[in-house]
Amino acid sequence: MSSSKSPADNPAIIPDPNQNGSTIRKAFLLEAIANLFTIPLITNTRFILSLLLLHPSDINPASVLFARLFGGIIVGGLTSALLIGATNTRNGVESRRPTYVMLGLGEALLIPMLALEAAKGGRDAALSTAVAVGSIGTLLPPLVWRGYVLFVRPDLLGRYREADGGGGRVGAGARGSGTKYGST
């Protein structure tokens, strides 16, 4: 017999006092706040594009729409994922690894595209070399940090145990005795 379960039915958790994810929680909050600086890309799109693009005269309704869509994904999607991961709840702890993987993959794809744009050196480029290199400079440190956390120090993601101390397997992160790891 198969039964379905709601995430709301999960037992309460107690964060591990030795690996409570406080460093990652702060990093998630800092990045979520930094993402809010993307709001002007949504609200004052033409002005922001005029600062970023090599040829502001190329701004058209399609470029405005796609810039707003990009800003909306950052503010609405990525920021909310970071805010969820900043909580010391079951969902927060368990979302940290997938959030870092998602953000890291995005950065890993954007950096080569920006490098190609910088390599154009102004010929047929949408961005100036300075803007492309500056963008790489803002994406590379978080990517390195995510790699460090995911592959070298996954313990920074935090862990928890169920408040009832149950030892049953709940989710993919079970480690016996009710302890769950946000890093598996």
In a domain, 54, yes or no: yes
Whether residue 6 lies inside any domain: the answer is: no
Total number of domains in the chain: 1
Does 165 map to a domain?
Answer: no
On the question of pLDDT at 183 being above 90, the answer is no
**Is residue 13 a part of any domain in this protein?**
no
pLDDT at 179 exceeding the cut of 80: no
Higher pLDDT, 171 or 5: 5
Determine the residue type at 141.
P
Q: Please indicate, yes or no, if residue 44 is contained in any of the structural domains.
A: yes
Q: What number is the average pLDDT over the span 157-184?
A: 57
* Per-residue model confidence (pLDDT) at position 123: 79
Task: Note down the domain range covering 33.
Answer: 19-157
Is 166 within the bounds of a domain?
A: no
Backbone angles phi, psi at 101, to 5 degrees: -65, -45
Per-residue pLDDT band for 1 (boundaries 50, 70, 90) equals low
The tens digit of pLDDT for each residue in 82-116 reads: 999 999 999 999 999 999 999 999 999 999 999 99
Domain annotation covers residue 8: no
Give the residue from 155, 149, 163, 152 showing the smallest Cα distance to 182.
155
Residue 161 pLDDT grade (very low, low, confident, very high; cuts 50, 70, 90): confident
User: Do the domain assignments include residue 70?
Assistant: yes
Q: Please, what is the average pLDDT of the chain?
A: 88
pLDDT for 180 beyond 70: no
The pTM assigned to this predicted structure is 0.81
